[in-house]
Every structure is written in structure tokens, then in C-alpha cells.
Amino acid sequence: MSSPPRVPALDLRAQYATIRGEVRAAVDRVFENQAFILGEEVEALERELAAFCEVRFAITCGSGSDALLLALMALDIGPGDEVICPAFTFFATAGAVARLGARPVFVDIDPATYDLDPAATRAAAARCTRLRAILPVHLYGRAADQGALLALAEERRVPLVEDAAQAIGARDASGRRIGGRGRVACFSFYPTKNLGGAGEGGFLSTDDAALAERLRRLRVHGSSRRYAHEELGINSRLDALQAVVLRVKLRHLDAWNAARCRHAAAYDEAFARAGARPSTVSLAAGGLPLRTPAPVAAPAAHVYHQYVIRVPAALRDPLREHLAARGVGSDVYYPLGLHLQPCFAALGHREGDLPETDRAAREVVALPIYAELSDAQREHVVASVLDFVTR
């Protein structure tokens, strides 16, 4: 009998094997040119990213974290201002707000979608006296409820700044690609992302020409002409080496995202056949102790940066150990809400303030999902999960 396949949580080597020739030729081009920072390759990437995201402007920068910081700087957000964001996200979302002296106003998530809960957002906005932006996160590659959040942002006359680090290529309920509905959206090229570089990188997208120009200035120390600094900026430039690698990968991104969706549909179907229900049904409702991601209806489109299931908190670590013993990688995004991080202690939050965030932090498990996953690997993941939750 053949031994079961190993299934790492992510396998970037498998991806590289499919593009090795293209990447090497592109990297050679940079060394032949010896132009390493910004320049023509970066500009070409920016045009291609704008076309991909269906926006007028894409501005690259040093990381997704910098993209968030630059977006808030370009909107003049500073000390004493309030920015609504979720706590169930990567640190950078709220880190950028606090870095500028503004206050992250943490709002709970919708437990089914992991996005800002629109009703809770509205209630929090009503309590804010210096609300300056609403910052949803398209977590796991699924678009937030943009319609409700945009309506609220318009009512309050504040910009919607999207943390789209995990969602390149996703479409919201209007059918539009993530990146153009808010005032500005922030993306990451962290190597594990759906479009990942060979190091740090990020970009911003916007349809606003004046904002795009300001972002381009802020990323080079606030300078639009050499040695003239109109304002204080930061150094956050993309390398040409990153740009050429990303240009190669961008050509494959639609196909890779489609493959992720096929794997997600196959996971959904296999788990549903065994009795799992979608995460729109709380685990407290009983039945098989397994919930699959909430379905997304066209024209919205998920890009499954992560395929995240939920199991009762007490089962999560044992499930992960069971999977590891069978060669299946898994991960937890995120084990602690940002409202409970030590660096935000001054905000005075306690466990229970954001109950859905706290519950998700205890229950979520990300399973392997990437374009190169084979059917045999995926079936081994399914069998390994099911023999744990059905026993």
C-alpha cells in the first residue's frame, strides 16, 4: 500500500517549479540592467496591477504594512483621530492606525464572514466623536460587506480604506474587483500571499488621481522632485527584482485563484457530504462539530487565500495534532484578537468585549489550499479531518 501524501500548509517550492524558467529570465534582466529600485519594471508592474484590479492607479511600496501606513498618512489621519477596524486580523491593520497616533476603534466581526459586522460598525461609528476612516479587512480572501460599509462611510463623510492584503482578485457583491470601491485599498506581496514576491512588498490601489500622486510622493520621503521635500514621508520603495518576479506571477494569478476556488469547492462538498454545515450556522447548533466557510454567491468571488474551518475550541489543538501526525499542515489565523494584544492594553479591552472575535480566535483552523495541491493531497486532508471529527 502506498503511504499517504504529505500536505504542507503551503508549498511555495511547488509553485516555483511551475515558473522557474520565467522567473530566472526576468531576474537576469534586472541584473543586466543594474537598475534596482523603482524604475521601468516597477512602473510596468503598477500598470498591470491597475488593470488587474480594475482601478486607475496602483502605487507599489515596501510592504502591505507600509501600504496601510501610507494610506492613512495620505488621508491626514493623526493623533486623536479614530479609525474603525476589526480586531480579528493581522497586526498591521491596527498597527498602522496606532503608529500615527490615532486610535483603533475595534469592532466585532460577523462570525460567518469574519468581516466587520455592519450593524456593530454602525453602532461604533455612532459612539465616535473623531471618526476619520473605516478600515475593513477582506480576511482570508473574501470581500467585506462593502455596500453597507460604503453607505455608512458616505453618511459619516469618512473614507473607506480597505485592507485587501489577503484578497487580490476577489470580487465584492457588486461584482467589482477589490481595490476600487473604497477610497484606497492596501495589498501585500508577502511571499505567502496569493500574489507573493520573493521578499517584502505591497501596493495601494485607488481611482483618485490626487491621492495617487500624494502616495507616490509619501513613499519617497515626501518628495516629488529630487532633493525637494514638500512634506514628511517615509522610504517605502519596491525593488525591481520584486517587480519582475511579481510580473511573472501576475500572469498566472487568475489561474491560481481559480484553482484555489476549485479546491475550496471540493473541500466544501466533501465536508458537507459528511454532515458539516457552513459557518453561517453556529457550532452551538450541534451536529457534526465542523463548519465550512460561508458560501459566496456570484458575482461576488472569494479567492481563498485561506480555507478556514471551525471546530469547537476544545477540539482545535487535538485536531491540529491529529493532522500533523498524518503529515497535514494547518495553521491558526489568528489565535488572539488585536484588542487583547499587550501593546493595546491602554485601550482597556477585556476578553468578552468582542465575543465573536474571541470565539473565532479559539475555533478557526486553516487547511492547506494552494493551486498546486493535488487531488490526492486534498483527499488526504479531508479524510484526516473527517476521521477526527466523526469519531
Ligand X SMILES: Cc1ncc(COP(=O)(O)O)c(C=O)c1O
Q: d(Cα 182, Cα 217) in Å, to the nearest integer?
A: 21
Q: Can you give the binding site for ligand X, defined by CB under 6 A?
A: 63-65, 89-90, 92-93, 137, 163, 165-166, 188, 190, 202
What cell was used for 245?
518576479
Residue number, 38 or 87, with CB nearest to ligand X: 87
> Shortest distance, CB of residue 379 to ligand X, whole angstroms?
28
Q: Work out how close the CB of 186 gets to ligand X at its nearest, in angstroms, rounded to a whole number.
A: 7
Minimal distance, residue 67 CB to ligand X, in Å: 7
172 closest CA partner among 88, 117, 115, 120: 115
The residue among 319 and 367 lying less far from ligand X, judged by its C-beta, is 367
Q: What are residue 206's phi and psi, to 5 degrees?
A: -160, 155
Q: How far is the CB of 237 from ligand X (least distance, A)?
A: 14
**Among residues 89 and 377, whose Cβ is nearest to ligand X?**
89
User: Could you give the CA distance from residue 300 to residue 97 in angstroms, rounded to a whole number?
Assistant: 29
Q: What's the Cα-to-Cα distance from 91 to each of 87, 96, 179, 265, 335, rounded to whole Å?
A: 8, 9, 20, 29, 12
Closest contact distance (angstroms) between CB of 202 and ligand X is: 5
Cβ-based nearer residue to ligand X, 167 or 386: 167
Comparing CB distances to ligand X, the nearer of 188 and 384 is: 188
Residues with Cβ within 8 Å of residue 374, at least 6 apart in sequence: 5
75, 58, 69: which is closest to 234 by C-alpha? 69
Closest to ligand X by CB, 260 or 380: 260
DSSP 291: E
Place of cell 485561506: 306
Taking the complex as a whole, the smallest distance from the CB of residue 138 to ligand X amounts, in Å, to 8
Residue closest to ligand X, measured at CB: 64
Residue 147, classed as helix, strand or coil, is helix
